[in-house]
Amino acid sequence: MKINSPLEVYQYLPQTNCKECGEPTCMAFASHLIDRSIKLEDCKPILEDAYKEKYQELNELMAPEIAEVTIGVGEHVVTVGGDDVMYRHQLTFFNPPAFALDVWDTMSQSDLIERVTYIRDFKKFYVGRFLTLDMIAIRSVSGDPDTFKQAVTLVMEHTQLPLVLCSLDPAVLQAGLEVAAEKKPLLYAATKDNWQGVYDLAIEYNVPVVLFAPDDLDTLKSLAVTFLENGYKDLILDPGTNPQGRSLRDSFENFLMIRRAGIKEGQNDVAFPLMAVPMTAYMTNDDPVSASYWETVLCGVFTVRYGDIMILHSIEPYALLPEMHIRDTVYTDPRTPVKVDSRVYKVGSPDKDSPVFVTTNFALTFYTVESDLASNEINCHLLAVDTDGLGVEAAVAGGQLNGKNIADDFKKGNFDFSNKTNHNTVIIPGLAARLQGDLEDNSGLNVMVGPPDSGRIPGWMEKNWPVEG
Amino acid sequence: MTKKITLSKLNDLLKDMEVEALEGVTIEGDIELEMDAIGGLNPQLAYLLGQETAQIAGHLINISQLLGYPVDQLLGKPLIDDSKRVAQPKELIPSTFKVNKMEEWTNEIQEVTLGASSSDGGTRKSIITLGGENALPYYFDSPMPHRNHITMDVFDMPIGMAKAVKSNYEDVMDSPAEWAKKNVKEFGADMVTIHLISTDPNIKDTSAKEAAETVADVLQAVDVPIVIGGSGNPEKDPEVLEKAAEIAQGERVLLASASLNLDYERIAAAAKQYGHVVLSWTQLEINAQKELNRKLMKQCNVNREDIIMDPTTAALGYGLDYAYTNMERIRLAGLIGDDELNFPMSSGTTNAWGARESWMINSPLKEDSDWGPREYRGPIWEIITGLTLALAGNDLFMMMHPASVAVLKEITKSLHGSHARNPVDISNWITTKVL
Ligand code: B12
Ligand code: SF4
């Protein structure tokens, strides 16, 4: 972003405070534009002809430092790049790195279908949503255009996920494009040797392209400048991912240097998303577990430091789970804890004998507890206290979870114990044990202390529920 | 070159072409068009059509627009910037890539040494130095003089731990000395941490004196520097750590920890008196970390070279985002000149074993894909937790699983540049044959 204060943005807005965007004033809208929590297009008036110039100017000024590149079409479209800062605490990072899992054109049909289906369907629940994989990278190992084309066709029959077509031979890439072009795949890759052919394909089929110059930033930049000068800007840069030793360090440095040049120094001709290829781990490790571990490690390194799209091989859950989690870790917005609505939730179909539990509205806490209850088929009510998105211990330590606000949040949720239960009892987390007396005083309820970990609730219930009384 | 063409003819001309963008545009009547320069035509289309038809199409588009047909939307945004469009590029445009070093990073991270050899009044054979860098870890701005180090846990009593971890220690659980030896000899630990957890009044309430004997045994058993940890009980720890510090006199151990919720003055005093280093521990709060460091320096007169910080480690998926950013902010603040924050950092990486993903047999959720074997999930959870913090600036890792230690060591050494291995030709990784 070439602009960094709401005041500057304000100059370009209609300044009528018409509220159409849902903000009270144009100035408020401007400050949301700066933190990128709203889109310029949400201001309908500025899209009118009268403001055309201002709109265009502002749009340009507000463009993220690192270009955004879109791959695929429709529901599964993937956008990469778009960052404005070097460190996540300075704003937040945008567009988590896209994970492309590989298949190759020498696989048997049945293996290929099985692998694609697995990748397509892999998911892990985390704070209210599923973490999933984004793309399929199809590698031409055969080197034969027809074989490649068949593989691409077969993949497309089994998934809508966007594709990366991988070959250094333009004829092979073209064969893939002939069947996949309308899905806007990513071309991998243009190099110093084949770039003219790949350039032609990119233009002809209107698809984004990766420029690949291992260990040679001058050449990488030359490729970028050449494509740009010839009017082509849907680019992703791959400076090479060396899997080990000192050359791995060199690769790491290359990522840092390119990103610093793009964000800190505004060097537009390298301000593109970066591709890392952790799968090079398989070029040095023979044993599959070591290779998978090492690939996961490389994925971690380049997720933290500036990789925007990655090609991965291992489909072992012990690789995919940490990879998806580290990506979520780095790309979650540090400005706002992930919260759920504060209210009384029903788990299963509770009746008057069912227990009533208390937890917080920190999404991680809430979903952990809720899934523990649901998967153990415990019918109950569960109050998510508004703790500003803090977990149990932090909220007890900081005072956001206390007897009074638990009682208040039950009231706000219109939860009347005398008519919703016949036991007048509430169960608090073990880690909030010290609130027991306080809550009794504030609510007049019978307060029980549950186990410290919600995973132990079933065992605890066996001993303590139904409540004696 | 002006040509004349009628619209009906134009329809015929375009009929056999794949011009999706023009699908549905029907044109009636027999207006005569003047074909001249391309003017305003989307060059992408020009390319697709070939020059002559492109000209025609250009006009067709103009007319369609006049008729109110939304051609622009159909065509999408032009990929090629008209003004830049030149003939088929033939040569790469030569370029040189350059980027500046960080001028802002003027402040060095304090160097801190752990362990003392006989010439310095101790008995350690290996000495470890942390800190000394002027940049984020592994950055090219300035060399990182010391690599990351790993200290492996030893407990003064058998404790519950994840199955994957426990299987490595079953034979030594009853003897902290043997346990420490195994860590160093078999698992390549740079250091060992003896956790005196049995001293907690709620556990065994082992006396400080007895605990100190355990420390002596560990010092006897290994010749690497050690960390001494209390039980975490704020009332008991000062006393336990004082006694331990006394028995380890001169060895430059790391005393873990001084924190704001206990009598940190006593711990600082013990470190000063017996020649040790203090671990300054706060909970994910940069200002609290500043405050405690300041108190240690100003109020307790601890020397700068005797302080290491532990800003708290939360596990991958369970708050690592906070831990990571907290460390990165602390390190950046230190580098640009905050003398209350430019100390080496230590991480309780073992916290990763608290994450369900590292120890549960299966996902508790039916909807999840299979989580696979947990023996492999746990160690990698510990590795990624540590690695992420290594990138944020953490120097010392307290760890548990031998495989995690080996891998974290290899990756941090590689990034540090101190792990030579043969380069691999990655230029054709695409054709890698893997199973
Ligand atoms: C991440 C974190 C933070 C984050 C908070 C993130 C958030 N959104 O909550 C930040 C950085 C903001 C933070 C701040 C603080 N923190 Co903090 N923080 C942690 C950390 C590392 C992880 C907490 C976490 O997310 N756990 C995971 C969630 C899912 O756990 P949970 O909410 O407790 O839920 C579990 C159980 O409670 C139980 N459960 C939940 N609900 C229910 C319901 C029922 C009925 C039952 C039976 C069970 C149950 O099951 C759940 C799953 O296991 C812990 C240390 C650690 N590793 O545990 C310290 C910790 C919680 N923090 C601590 C402290 C002291 C603080 C601060 C006061 C520090 C400070 N000086 O500022 C502040 C307080 C801020 C405030 N309240 O204003 C202390 C608390 C000590 C104590 N026991 O009093 C801890 C334990 C660290 C420590 N060892 O000292 N913290
Ligand atoms: S819609 Fe536009 S003009 Fe109206 S208040 Fe919002 S920013 Fe201002």
pLDDT in tens, B344-388: 999 999 999 989 899 888 887 888 999 999 999 999 999 999 999
Please determine, for residue B36, whether its predicted confidence score (pLDDT) is greater than 50: no
**Amino acid type, B217:** D
How does residue B74 score in pLDDT terms, banded at 50, 70 and 90?
A: very low
Please determine, for residue B40, whether its predicted confidence score (pLDDT) is greater than 80: no
Q: In CATH, what number does A68-331 get?
A: 3.20.20.20
CATH topology classification for B112-416? TIM Barrel (3.20.20)
User: Which residues 277-316 on chain B approach chain A with CB closer than 8 angstroms?
Assistant: 316
- Other CB atoms closer than 10 Å to residue B219's CB: what's the count? 24
B44 touches chain A (CB under 8 A): yes
Q: Is A45 in the pocket of ligand 2 (CB under 6 A)?
A: yes
Are B76 and B48 contacting, i.e. CB atoms less than 8 angstroms apart?
no
Q: Name which CATH class applies to A344-464.
A: alpha beta
Coil, helix or strand at residue A148: helix
pLDDT in tens, B207-217: 999 999 999 99
Contact call for A284 and B424, based on CB within 8 A: yes
Query: Which pLDDT does position B316 carry in this prediction?
Result: 97
Q: Is A402 in the pocket of ligand 1 (CB under 6 A)?
A: no
- Other CB atoms closer than 10 Å to residue B122's CB: what's the count? 21
DSSP B345: B
How does residue B57 score in pLDDT terms, banded at 50, 70 and 90?
A: low
Residue from the list B377, B407, B430 with its beta carbon closest to the beta carbon of A321 = B377
Distance CA A195, CA A230 (A): 12
- The alpha carbon of A11 is separated from its chain's Cα centroid by a whole number of angstroms, namely 33
CB pairs under 8 A between A and B: 260
Task: Name the minimum distance, in Å, from the CA of A443 to any CA of chain B.
Answer: 31
Are A81 and A306 contacting, i.e. CB atoms less than 8 angstroms apart?
no
Where do the structural domains in chain B lie, given as residue ranges?
Answer: 112-416
Q: Is A400 in the pocket of ligand 1 (CB under 6 A)?
A: yes
DSSP B161-202: --HHHHTTTTTTTT-HHHHHHHHHHTT--SEEEEE-GGGSTT
Query: Which pLDDT does position B32 carry in this prediction?
Result: 44
Give the residue, by CA position, lying nearest to ligand 2 atom 7.
A26
Query: Which pLDDT does position B89 carry in this prediction?
Result: 85
Q: Could you tell me which chain B residue has the CA closest to the CA of A240?
A: B426
**Higher-confidence position of B161 and B86:** B161
Please determine, for residue B49, whether its predicted confidence score (pLDDT) is greater than 90: no
Q: What percent of chain A has pLDDT over 90?
A: 90
Task: Name the minimum distance, in Å, from the CA of A12 to any CA of chain B.
Answer: 23
B332 touches chain A (CB under 8 A): yes
**Higher-confidence position of A177 and B87:** A177
Contacts of A229 in chain B (CB under 8 A): 84, 86, 89, 93
CA of A408 to the centre of ligand 1 (A): 22
| Nearest to B254, CA basis, from B360, B136, B348 | B348
Q: Could you tell me which chain B residue has the CA closest to the CA of A230?
A: B85
- State the Cα angle at B358 between B352 and B363, rounded to 5°: 135
Coil, helix or strand at residue B151: strand
Question: Highest-confidence range of B37-46, B269-278, B354-363, by mean pLDDT?
Answer: B269-278
Where do the structural domains in chain A lie, given as residue ranges?
Answer: 6-61, 68-331, 344-464
Coil, helix or strand at residue B154: strand
Report CA torsion sign: B80, B85, B91, B97.
negative
Task: Name the minimum distance, in Å, from the CA of A441 to any CA of chain B.
Answer: 28
Distance CA A123, CA A324 (A): 10
Q: φ and ψ at B119, to 5 degrees?
A: -65, -20
Pick from A374-378, A382-386, A446-450, B85-89: least confident: B85-89
Q: Which residues does B83 contact at the CB level (< 8 Å), separation at least 6?
A: none
Distance CA A123, CA A134 (A): 11
Give the residue, by CA position, lying nearest to ligand 2 atom 2.
A43
Q: Which residues does A121 contact at the CB level (< 8 Å), separation at least 6?
A: B369
Structure tokens at A58: 């502002």
Are A141 and A106 contacting, i.e. CB atoms less than 8 angstroms apart?
yes
Residue from the list B98, B321, B365 with its beta carbon closest to the beta carbon of A332 = B321
Q: What percent of chain B has pLDDT over 90?
A: 73
DSSP A357: E
Are A291 and A102 contacting, i.e. CB atoms less than 8 angstroms apart?
no
- Other CB atoms closer than 10 Å to residue B364's CB: what's the count? 17
pLDDT in tens, B394-433: 999 999 999 999 999 999 999 999 998 889 999 999 999 8
Distance CA B171, CA B182 (A): 10
> Could you name the CATH architecture of A6-61?
Orthogonal Bundle (1.10)
pLDDT in tens, A242-297: 999 999 999 999 999 999 999 999 999 999 999 999 999 999 988 999 999 999 99
Residues in chain A: 469
Helix intervals (H) in B69-123: 71-75
Q: Is A29 in the pocket of ligand 2 (CB under 6 A)?
A: yes
Say what the alpha-carbon torsion angle A13, A15, A17, A18 is, to the nearest 10 degrees.
-70
Residue B38 CA neighbour count, 13 Å, CB half:
16
Structure tokens at B248: 């380890």
Please determine, for residue A412, whether its predicted confidence score (pLDDT) is greater than 80: yes
Find the ligand nearest to A369 CA: 1
Structure tokens at A156: 């497309």
